[in-house]
Structure 1
Amino acid sequence: MAIDSDSSARRQKRFGNAALAFVALFWLGLLCGVSFLATPVKFQAPSLDLPTALEVGRVTFALLARVEWLMVILLAGSLALGSLTRPRLILATGLLAIVALQSLWLLPVLDARIEAIVTGNPSSPTYHHMLYAVSEVAKAILLCVLGGLALAGLGARSRS
């Protein structure tokens, strides 16, 4: 009986590590595709005027924010199934903080700027866009490290 429960616990941790690696790396791919590829490229389209590009960006990042909340939930679930270590908890907490900062503060501020530009009342530049970009890079780094830790956990489990 003890052997079965030990084996079952190892399988659950292995599944949790695999789920954590999948969620972190899937989220990283989503983030790179939207924030670092599609968003900059749309501003290169010569026939797309700035207000339209900004409105597309607003809709895109609003959807991304909702998807990222789902990813936070999936990440928490996979952490609960796998090995919940201090580094993983710190990385996950950092991701949660960034998603909260972006969706609850930065996106509404940026949306107001977009609305002003679209209605022909642009305001002077602020630091909010740069802060959002820096937070996207930080999120990508955290996801890379978290995914790497989960993959390393899978390797350690398979050798035991």
Structure 2
Amino acid sequence: MTPGPAIATAAVFVWLGMVLAISFLEAPLKFRAPGVTIPIGLGIGRIVFRALNISEVGLALTALVAVIVDPPETSALVAGAVALSTLVVQLAAVRPRLTRRSDRVLAGENAPRSRAHYVYVALEAVKTIALVVTGVLLLAL
């Protein structure tokens, strides 16, 4: 494996691990902890997901630069593009809606449940699958 795909592979698998740990483990479990109210959980979640998203952007850019410098096979590029596109949709379209709702809840308002949360989770699943496929395809080089 040449350096470009090796760096991209590392970035993709670190990214995947972070998404799995935060989105599918930490996020749902924090609300089960004793004493964690919805506002406290939302406050923690906003901080954690902001950090996750910043890390995701950094890892995505690392992988992107690595594959620009030393392009892998087209299938790995397509799978990586799906992961990157999903992240962009989450950050540009879904996260702002979730932030507006959590702002309302944190201000004491009894805001109705948001469908944007379900969209975000579905996109996390798509992104997770795309990252697995990307990583496996990059390893096969």
TM class by shorter-chain length? Answer: over 0.9
Please name the residue that 2:4 is paired with.
16
Q: Secondary structure at the match of 1:52?
A: helix
Shift of 1:92: 2.0
List 4+ stretches of structure 1 deviating above 6 A. none
Please name the residue that 2:28 is paired with.
40
Match of 1:126 among 114, 119, 124: 114
- TM (norm. structure 1) is 0.82
- Aligned Cα RMSD in Å? 1.4
Query: 1:122 and 1:62 mapped to 2: Cα distance?
Result: 23
Size of the alignment, in residue pairs?
141
Shift of 1:94: 1.3
Match of 1:114 among 83, 102, 111: 102
Shift of 1:36: 0.8
Percentage identity across aligned positions?
27
- TM (norm. structure 2) is 0.92
The CA deviation string for residues 121-143 of structure 1, in whole angstroms up to 9 with x for no partner, is 13222320000001111111111
Shift of 1:52: 0.6
Specify every segment of 5 or more residues in structure 1 that has no aligned partner in the other structure, as ranges.
1-12, 154-160
Please name the residue that 1:156 is paired with.
none
Point out the structure with max Rg over C-alpha.
Answer: 1
Shift of 1:116: 1.0
